[in-house]
Structure 1
């Protein structure tokens, strides 16, 4: 049995345990070594700085015991590592607690021995102990499916601009972009909160996290961004943006933007020339200080963003989104937690005041949702009886059959707005809905919607 908050032997003179502050230097050296680029001759300095940020308390919500290590007992050497970075996201207007597994690596001579699986057992027990609603990973294709994760949430994507087409200046000069300071945090937080209504899932930052983004990370830290504010003629912030820092350099000759928002009712059309002029001058500056090539701007703002309408004349290329892996430790509990969002959808639909049950089968397990007067009064785990095989034909039955069937973890794609019901039914022949009424109700409860999660790591 793995104990997430204690030490446990996994055989072969190896143990899994939570880290302590005394492990900092060893962990910094380990992660920088095993997570370097495959063709890199030296350990990765950006990963080293990021690990140090976490272990030394710069991240306001991370503690050393949220890092787990596999350790060789005799040599006291770190063999593998993983951590769980806590954060708060929103599902609609409901706050959810999230853990993001990161810095997952194994020493080359120990790979293929199930050590990452042992670490994930510890992470998952830790998530349950902390009552987290969701775990989410931005990782390589397929790998994390073996630990109970489904690619079910939009990740990045956006537009790519040719840098040569960017304006060199704003002829109106009504707006300018400057580096953010800690004093700008209230304005930035207010503007960021205004933008959440466009999306289903978003990440949340309190004042301490915004200060961490502005001035808390080490200059070389892997996820360090340059946070800037857009100000008008009166020098008051009307927007903000975050882009790759000069120490990250121009990966693939591209300057990346990770966030960009304006306060309502500021016009995107009016501000965009100043934004793009700033981006062009910043890219040119990075070339001068780093010797990199600058040919593109990556607007990694998701599949849907108001900035895109303001840059159509620049003929941007569409960059398709990737996906987050997600794992829901307690699916009935999660659906109950986000019930206010589902009830709002019912209120705005033909199913206002809906009463009844909706039974959803995952073939091995499922959910029963109970509604009364348009309220979701209960969500419980449910299993269709084993003797009710398949979907009945021609002769309806009064038995407690599922109203809809979702194979594997595909229901998570519906829950997180990643795919519509019709898209899932097209892609998976065993995604089935028994009645038109159930189809209409599921479509109302779980519409396809964009998300925009800028991870808090």
Structure 2
């Protein structure tokens, strides 16, 4: 594997690109650089990843030095994730800690880092890159908002039910609770299309902490008569303006207990509202809405699929299963899908994909069953939006009328709950 720790390549006489070796001196330089870019609060966050993350051997820190000053002037990180797409496990990576010193911006250094990052993805068979980054900037690198990430609901403390749930108690989770947490996690999250693979060590890294803030959470157990019934993970949103909640399937009584717990914590702030980082389309979010809660903000994962052919090869069995369960069972036909820069042709034979071909360039008129411009196609491929919703936003999303039902079967809208362990 060419792009590994210790890699270096001279870009020109002024700059050289590196992949960190993980030695102490180098990592301290990376840490100091990121504090300059992102501010002092990032120091604890990044230090924790550098020292304690269970997958530290797989993490890549890419950076560029000024050859004359020897200073780090630009950098990004590649963090591996494993996401389930239905029953398939797809290798994904999260881009993090992106930045360039102000005096070095406009020199296309980030373009060199992104190119190297995507080459490292290809070498590792990683299909998808995601980032929780600032708005708009990443569009220039063909990223698109395509998966849910950060949803907010506010609720008046007076709307929290006062029902007596004192027979339930809350305590911190411990190692002995992992088996129950795992079972409850799978019971709930396995119903989502895209979701994080439950990795015990990574789960503990992010969710089993002594205290909480915007990047680490505490997991609690809810007990009755000394027997654990369920769990919830609690922390702060990335901007420290809302309480983050990660929950499995809960009873109404459990949800009331959690809301009373949050209200008690928030009492010291004398807040007029409880602000929750909580999905409105999950059971707990729906319950909060039923109490009078209001959604007020949402944000998304920004996603890039650098190479569509490997992506389609990865989800081949998902597409075949959708065909098998539809009126198109036994389909023998080629289906052409274009983003106006590249066309993917899926050859179905008796309901199975026998071949996948690609063509570069603008498609010939009326040659495709489906056309969705640029990265907007990710919204369809990742089940974030259906075709009609995308067409409402961009009118050059087009489908042949005879193919529309088939397209809707191949690419339905589904609910996802992607997450990170960083």
Distance 1:31 1:274, change over 3 A: same
2:178 paired residue among 179, 182, 185 = 185
1:295-327 deviation per Cα after TM superposition (whole angstroms, max 9, x unaligned): 443443334101133334420102343221111
Aligned to 2:257: 274
Q: TM-score, normalised by structure 1?
A: 0.84
1:384-413 deviation per Cα after TM superposition (whole angstroms, max 9, x unaligned): 886x3x33xxxxxxxxx2112222222211
Distance 1:354 1:106, change over 3 A: same
Higher mean displacement: 5-14 or 136-145: 5-14
Aligned to 1:439: 404
The aligned runs of 1:38-187 (5 Å cut-off) are: 43-44=40-41, 47-56=42-51, 58-63=52-57, 66-167=60-161, 170-187=163-180
Aligned to 1:396: none
Aligned to 1:311: 288
Aligned to 1:39: none
Aligned to 2:224: 232
SS of the residue 2:329 aligns to: coil
SS of the residue 1:321 aligns to: strand
Alpha-carbon separation, structure 2, partners of 1:174 and 1:122: 56
Aligned to 1:21: 23
Number of residue pairs aligned between Structure 1 and Structure 2: 418
Alpha-carbon separation, structure 1, partners of 2:60 and 2:311: 23
Distance 1:366 1:64, change over 3 A: closer
Aligned to 2:191: 198
Alpha-carbon separation, structure 2, partners of 1:299 and 1:9: 47
Moved over 6 A (4+): none
Alpha-carbon separation, structure 2, partners of 1:66 and 1:48: 18
Q: TM-score, normalised by structure 2?
A: 0.90
Aligned to 2:12: 11
Unaligned 5+ residue runs, structure 1? Answer: 37-42, 392-400
Q: CA RMSD in A?
A: 2.6
Distance 1:385 1:89, change over 3 A: closer
1:352 paired residue among 329, 337, 341 = 329
Alpha-carbon separation, structure 2, partners of 1:324 and 1:7: 30
Alpha-carbon separation, structure 1, partners of 2:265 and 2:91: 36
Aligned to 2:244: 257
Alpha-carbon separation, structure 2, partners of 1:293 and 1:34: 34
Distance 1:328 1:224, change over 3 A: same
| Cα pair 2:159 2:292 within 8 Å, conserved | no
Unaligned 5+ residue runs, structure 2? Answer: none
The answer to whether 1:364 aligns with 2:358 is no
Alpha-carbon separation, structure 2, partners of 1:147 and 1:4: 23
1:35 paired residue among 35, 38, 41 = 38
